Structure 1
Amino acid sequence: MRKKYVYLLSGLCFSVLLTIVSCNTDDDEAKSVIPFTADIYHSVKGKKVAFHGLTNNAASWKWDFGDGTESSEQNPVHVYGEAGYYTAVLTVTDNSGATIAKEVELALDITPYVLLTGGANDTDGKTWRISNGHSGNDYFANSDADLSPFEGAPNPLPGGIFGSGLGMAEVYEDEFTFYFDGSYGHDVKDDGAAFSGLLYQFVTTGGAGIVNDGGSDFGLCTGLFEPETDATFTYAENDTMTTSSVYGEGGAISYEGVTTLDFSGNEFIGLKDFENKVILQDISSNSMRLVMFLAASQDYIGINTNAVILTFETVE
């Protein structure tokens, strides 16, 4: 009987030993198959970003914050000096020397000016053009205090109206670039012409500058224009814009508390007419809406009668 117990005890110990060995083997195998991986988690407060390198089997970490600074910490906290758009890159290396790179796009403390120019460094710039799709807020207005809709014009403007409706599709091609340092670029494309007021062209060129008068029923056309070199723009918030208007007392009207864009020399954005200054009604990362003024009456040369309110889109 005692021998039977000895055999039973020996078998039990052997089973336990096998279980332990088996568990250890399983653990070792599990550890050996954990892949080398990397990902990024981040949280933002203003211009301060907390980065977390979510990695397996990494031996080292290298962060490039996209502003000229770096870190070798796994979970660094970085404060950017300027608002703007940045690409942060994490490169991790394992013990064999293999590497994985991950990146994250950041939009930090973005102001309307940064939305307009695309960044916070002097060389940063963003290019815009009139949106072919338009929006529900695009319309042809009177240059009165309320920018009321002009009777007889479609409201809102349907998509592609300058092309399919007026035969001036080239209006959607011209590009306007705003740089963070205040410089300004303008590309009128192959036709060398810009969206323009018809009366303006007759007054300034005798009509010789008119390229396409398809929009003549609305006082619009395209006209020859040579962009200026070394052009600049001025951005102003909470501005009071006083401009000519047939609806204003004494031939002028003021729009108070508006954001405006003004340009050096003869430059402009969108529509070339007697008034180059425009009102910026709304802006996001990929669209903005502008109010551009137009003098369209031969009875009031150079005095605004209308406004064209259009959406612009970014050019990728």
Structure 2
Amino acid sequence: MKRYTAYLATLLLMTFVWSGCEVDDPELAEAPSAEMVSFTTTPTTTNANIINFESTSPGFKSVWDFGDGATAEGTKVSHGYPVKGNYTVKLTIYTSGGSATGSKTVTIANTNPSMLNREDYNFLTGGANQLEGKTWVIDKNSPGHLGIGPIGGTTPEWYTAAPNEKASEGYYDDEMTFVLGNTLSYTYKNNGNTFANGDNAPGIGGTKGADQTVNYTPPTNLTWSISEEGDKKFLIISNGGFIGYYTGVSKYEILSLTENEMYLRSGSAAVAEHAWYQKLVRKGYAPPKPVKEYKAVDIADNFDTPGTFTWKFENIGFNENFDNPAQLPSNTSDKVGRYVRQAGQANEFGNANIQFTHNLDLTKRHVFKVKVFVPSYNDYTTMGGAEDWSPVKTLQKQLSVKLQNSELGGNAYTTQAEVIQQVTQLDQWVELTFDFSAHASRKDFDKIVVQFGGEAHFNPGIFYLDDFRLMP
């Protein structure tokens, strides 16, 4: 009976608690209105061109747009205006009910020359005494003058343009001129067309799809400004203006800026995870080309012990510590490399490669050897798709070794040296020889590419390799 009474009491308590939870949802907080947005503007006592802003609005967050491209967050903020003019300052407040924006005009009566005499301003424009300003162009002869990487990254790890790679895109004749004066003016001369990112091209009259050259007339009366956000600086173009390659944004992080060179990173209006990089140089300036060291080195990896280099992989699966699938007298190694060619067009040029920081001296040593195991279970007959121009439509029983000049980026294949060896003995280890004696006098190779199964087709396959080495 006591157990029953306790059970009943517990049940009644649970019912009470559950009933207590069944209350009407509280009404959402009222959305703020523009009339609720208010803020004060007070010039500093020592410099009338520096304004102190304070939000007198409700809410838990205040975001400022200072009217010259710069932004900030906080209840109390300061911003400097070196050039006279009228600036529309916007404050957006956030409350539990939503957000609202209000604005007012800040008038700067006079230009403050001392605020213009900055190293970054002088590098960008040539200084106040260079009345015509400074003109910048894309550094077309430099590897990576255009690149893309993840928005949170620090390098264009996904793609870097080779020298002069975009010569047909209306990109290299663009001129960007910055002037330092009573107006921080910016002129973009594109000679009638602009190279645009395919996702953002509709913003200047293009069509969504692949990157394209768009007939486009830039607006006039553009201005520039530089804002500081923490330890970062941003170059901002007014009224939707932009620099060079169009990605739908007007704000560029300054990664480096000198008298002759500028390196910028920007986002993409259409694809939030993309970061684009551009290298520019002062018009008429030819950057000195760095000279790579030229030397002979040992090149070897047996996958049982550490090799003399680090493998890199492009659109393949690769295991550098795979159990030998056939531990035969022809190869008794415990570990080998497992190379998995992926299906699909995106993987048609997949490979393993070795990138050196120097150029390879092959004058005395120019023969490579490698052991390979080509399984019979791969499908070597089905045509799983290929490029129309490709003579190869199926997976190939072969290994290709290529020597390339990585500075040519996507055009490295145009000057490469390639040796292809067919494999006729399947399901066993075979040693292949790749003799580059015909190219031993070349001094521009800094990359070795290893590619199983052919290229320009979309068929998958699994292969194994071991004891890759440059012979003594």
TM-score, L = length of structure 2: 0.33
Greater helix content: 1
